[in-house]
Structure 1
């Protein structure tokens, strides 16, 4: 059974990785918006106007999941230890 220090370290690295993925996704959507929407329009047949709201929803859900499942438990364990 892992101790608190290992779990804290694990959650810290998970937070860093997830924040990195969130930043890359956000920057990709901002910088290459036309290319990405055209690609997803061809792949999935979703209108480009709907894709922008879908991207925003994806980023919002990913950010919330990262905060709730990684960052908050990490901070709580850092306070305890």
Structure 2
């Protein structure tokens, strides 16, 4: 059985990994948008102009999911003293 302190530690590390991935994906999309957009538009048969909106949707949904399911519970458990 997992204890509250183990859950707190797990959520902390998962939050670090998810925020790190979010930053990496954002940096890649900022500096390599042309190459990445070209590859994805060919793979999924989507116009390159639509890809910017799709990337924005992906990053925003990923950020919200990370904040709601990883970072917020971690902060709540830290405030409670675990």
TM range (shorter): over 0.9
**Structure 1 residues 41-50 or 56-65, which shifts more?**
41-50
For the aligned residue pairs, the C-alpha RMSD in angstroms reads 0.5
Runs of 4+ deviating beyond 4 Å:
none
Aligned residue number for residue 5 of structure 1: 5
Structure 2: give runs of 5+ residues left out of the alignment.
Answer: none
TM-score, normalisation: structure 1: 0.97
Aligned residue number for residue 45 of structure 2: 45
Question: How far, CA to CA, are the matches of 1:49 and 1:77 in structure 2?
Answer: 42
Question: How far, CA to CA, are the matches of 1:40 and 1:2 in structure 2?
Answer: 40
Report how far residue 41 of structure 1 moved. 1.3
Number of equivalent positions: 81
